[in-house]
């Protein structure tokens, strides 16, 4: 009896591939255009999607055997969840498995900015030893951290910063977070107050219409001139042009971005011309531990193909 087929948009860790291969034949996407994906999804029972490509209603309609779309990671903004639900297709993800990796990356970016580590590295490679006399970093100890979106990752960032650097924690979230208020002495405030009061602002919100360009020119202007902005959430949360202007004009001190409005980041992006930025290529979750854990979305894909419910469903088709 032939194995069911699963379409993978991108590579995943070998651990996940090995598990998936025991139960299904793997089909690799040859491109991310909708027409290509529709053609290659024609006979598959499952899809595993990462950051590239879309799982659109049209792709689903081209796959009559499709039972599940598994998201390698957490965010499902490149999956039409409503369309999947209407068609009786499960969407599942891997919640929580990259909390530590992304939180550590955000804190690492804070340190890199504060200590001007990237600039120092580039200077010494140019033979410019006197950069040590020209640069002035700052200590993180005792500063105020503003966390926008105090979910699992935002909480972990706050926890690290409070424990390691005795930072004061402000947060803005739709919900109150009693645990953070008790354990970290965190204080819930409106976004405007958070921006005015924080030395570091770390963004941890999903990509939604309500969060598109959440950090626009007006909100960037509320920040201290000495403040640092860190974004490891989604690129659309920050207006890149407004951020460039704020950094160029010295209206905020520095910014670190792991996610970008357009990915891959174009070579002519203006942020690349600035020295008061640290930019990474959407890699915050790319640790060995997190990559293994995310690849095990394979388990839920296999469960659903075998007629079981997924352990981590995003939707509830048929209800």
Q: Do the beta carbons of residue 276 and residue 254 sit within 8 Å?
A: yes
Q: Do the beta carbons of residue 167 and residue 146 sit within 8 Å?
A: no
Q: Is 219 a catalytic residue?
A: no
Phi-psi region of 283 (alpha: psi -120 to 50; beta: other; left: phi over 0): alpha
Phi, psi of 138, deg, nearest 5 = -145, 155
CA 58 to chain centroid, in Å, comes to 26
Among the listed residues 172, 234, 251, 260, the single catalytic one is 234
Among the listed residues 18, 134, 192, 263, the single catalytic one is 263
Q: Is 282 a catalytic residue?
A: yes
Among the listed residues 87, 213, 282, 286, the single catalytic one is 282
Q: Is 263 a catalytic residue?
A: yes
**Which is it for strands 200-203 and 187-188: parallel, antiparallel or unpaired?**
unpaired
What does the buried/exposed string (b/e) look like for 72-105 if buried means 16 or more CB atoms within 10 Å of the residue's CB?
bbbebebbbbebbbeeebbbbbbeebbbbbbbbb
Q: Catalytic residue positions?
A: 234, 263, 282
């Amino acid at each position: 009896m032939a194995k069911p087929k699963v379409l993978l948009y991108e590579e995943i860790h070998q651990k996940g591939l090995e598990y998936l291969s025991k139960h299904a034949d793997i089909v690799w996407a040859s491109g991310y255009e909708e027409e290509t994906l529709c053609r290659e999804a024609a006979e598959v029972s499952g899809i595993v999607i990462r950051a590239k490509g879309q799982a659109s209603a049209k792709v689903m309609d081209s796959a009559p055997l499709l039972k599940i779309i598994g998201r390698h990671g957490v965010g499902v903004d490149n999956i039409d969840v409503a369309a999947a639900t209407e068609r009786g297709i499960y969407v599942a993800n891997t919640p929580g498995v990259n909390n530590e990796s992304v939180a550590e990356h955000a804190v690492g970016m804070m340190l890199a900015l504060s200590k001007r580590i990237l600039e120092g590295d580039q200077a010494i490679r140019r033979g410019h030893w006197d950069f040590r006399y020209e640069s002035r970093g700052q200590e993180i100890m005792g500063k105020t951290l503003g966390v926008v979106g105090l979910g699992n990752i935002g909480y972990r960032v706050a926890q690290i910063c409070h424990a390691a650097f005795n930072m004061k924690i402000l947060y803005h979230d739709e919900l109150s977070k009693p645990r953070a208020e008790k354990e970290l002495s965190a204080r819930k405030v409106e976004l405007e107050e958070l921006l005015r009061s924080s030395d570091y602002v770390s963004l941890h919100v999903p990509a939604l219409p309500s969060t598109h360009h959440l950090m626009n020119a007006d909100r960037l202007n509320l920040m201290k001139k000495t403040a640092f902005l860190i974004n490891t959430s989604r690129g659309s949360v920050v207006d890149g042009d407004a951020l460039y202007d704020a950094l160029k004009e010295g209206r905020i001190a520095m910014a670190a971005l792991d996610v970008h409005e357009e990915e891959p980041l174009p070579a002519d992006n203006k942020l690349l011309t600035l020295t008061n930025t640290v930019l990474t290529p959407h890699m915050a979750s790319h640790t060995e531990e997190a990559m293994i854990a995310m690849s095990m979305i394979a388990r839920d894909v296999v469960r659903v193909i075998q007629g079981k419910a997924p352990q981590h469903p995003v939707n509830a088709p048929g209800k």
